[in-house]
Amino acid sequence: MLGAIEAGGTKFVCAVSDDDLNIIEKVSFSTTDPEDTLQRIFDFFDGYEDLKSIGIGSFGPIDVNKNSIKYGYITSTPKQKWIDFDFLGMMKKHYNIPIGWTTDVNAACLGEYELGSAKENNSCIYLTIGTGIGGGAIVNGKFIEGFGHPEMGHILIKPDPKDNFEGVCPYHGNCLEGLAAGPSIEKRYGTKAQNLSSDHKIWGIVAYYLAQALVNYTLVLRPEKIILGGGVMNQPHMLDLVKEEFERLLSNYVEIPNIGAYIVTPSLENDAGVTGGLILAQQSL
Ligand code: ADP
Ligand code: ZN
C-alpha cells in the first residue's frame, strides 16, 4: 500500500492506494496550523498498517536540497506558522518508512508525466494558476532542480499597456504571480475572479501574461508539453486565449509540437497532485 500527501496552502489531500496506484481512500481538510494539520495526517495514515512508503508534494517554498541542513523544511512561506517547519522530519519521526519529498507542482507534474496528458512524452512542464502561480518541470523522468526547485510563478514579465495594476506579490509587485494569479484579479476589481463575466477584458490581459511566461519557459527548456492547471484555468476560453497569444509572441521563432497538443490542461484533473504523490512514494521504495 502506498500513501500520498498533497499539501496545499488552502487544503491538504491525503490518499492511499494499492501497489498499482488505484486510489483506495482519499480525505481532504483545510490547512490550519502545522501541529493540527500533522495530527490529521497521522490520524489518516495510522489506520493503514501495511503502508510501504509515502510521497509528499508540498506548498512552499520548500528545501529540496539533500545537502542542506533544512532539507525537508517548508521555508520562507507567507504563512507565518509554517515558516521553517520541518515537515519531512516530523513525518519521518512518526513513520519509519521511505518518504518522498517534492513541491506540490512537481508532484502534479509527475502525475501528468507518468499517467496523464504527458504520458507519451519525455519532458513536460506543469503550471498552476490559482491562489498563486507555480510550476514544475520533468526531463527524462527527473525533476529540474539544482540549488533549489524552480519558482516559475515569480518570473518578471512586461506589463500590458492596458493594465496599470501594480501587482500583489510581496516580493516583486508585478511579477507573473503578482499580475495573473487569482488574488491579483480580485484586488483589481474587488470581487473573486470567477464572478467576472467571460467577456471581461481581464481575461485577455491574464492570457497575455501567461503567454509571455510560456514563451520564456519554451525558450529556456524546449519541453514537449506544457500543462496548465489551477482555478484560473477554469475560466472558459482561457486556454484558447493563451494559445493565441503564445503563437503571436513566439512568432514561429522555434519549432514547437502542434499547439493543440503542446499547451493543454491536466488529464488527471484534480487528482494530478495525489497521483504524483503516489508515484513518488513508489519511486522512493
Ligand atoms: P489553490 O491555488 O489555493 O490550490 P485553486 O487552484 O482552486 O486553489 O485557485 C483558486 C483561485 O482561482 C482563486 O483566486 C479563484 O478566484 C480563482 N478561480 C476559481 N474559479 C475561477 C474561474 N472560473 N475563473 C477565474 N478564476 C477562478
Ligand atoms: Zn513575485
What range does the domain containing 195 cover?
A: 117-265
Instruction: Find the helix or strand (DSSP H, E) in which 57 lies.
Output: strand 53-58
CA distance 125 to 177: 17
Which ranges constitute the DSSP H helices of 66-154?
87-94, 104-115
CA distance 281 to 32: 25
Domain match, 13 and 83 both: yes
Residue 16 DSSP SS3: strand
Domain match, 98 and 122 both: no
Within-domain flag for 283: no
pLDDT tens by residue, the chain, 285 residues: 999 999 999 999 999 999 999 999 999 999 999 999 999 999 999 999 999 999 999 999 999 999 999 999 999 988 999 999 999 999 999 999 999 999 999 999 999 999 999 999 999 999 999 999 999 999 999 999 999 999 999 999 999 999 999 999 999 999 999 999 999 999 999 999 999 999 999 999 999 999 999 999 999 999 999 999 999 999 999 999 999 999 999 999 999 999 999 999 999 999 999 999 999 999 999
How many angstroms separate the alpha carbon of residue 175 from the centre of ligand 2? 5
Q: For 30-42, b where at least 16 C-beta lie within 10 A, e where not — what string?
A: ebeebeebbebbe
Domain match, 90 and 122 both: no
Domain containing residue 28: CATH number? 3.30.420.40
Q: Which three cell numbers stand for residue 265?
A: 490542461
How many angstroms separate the alpha carbon of residue 2 from the centre of ligand 1? 29
Asked if residues 151 and 169 have their Cβ atoms less than 8 Å apart, the reply is: no
Q: Which three cell numbers stand for residue 180?
A: 495573473
**Dihedral (C-alpha) 83, 86, 88, 93: value to the nearest 10 degrees?**
-150
Ion ligand 2: residues, CB < 5 A: 154, 169, 171-172, 175
Residue nearest to atom 12 of ligand 1 (CA): 231
Residue nearest to atom 3 of ligand 1 (CA): 131
How far CA 277 is from CA of 64, 75, 104, 282, in Å, comes to 15, 20, 9, 9
Domain match, 128 and 80 both: no
Within-domain flag for 112: no
Domain match, 99 and 121 both: no
Residue 104 DSSP SS3: helix
User: Which pTM does this prediction carry?
Assistant: 0.97
- The amino acid sitting at 7 is A
- The residues near 220 (Cβ < 8 Å, ≥ 6 apart) are none
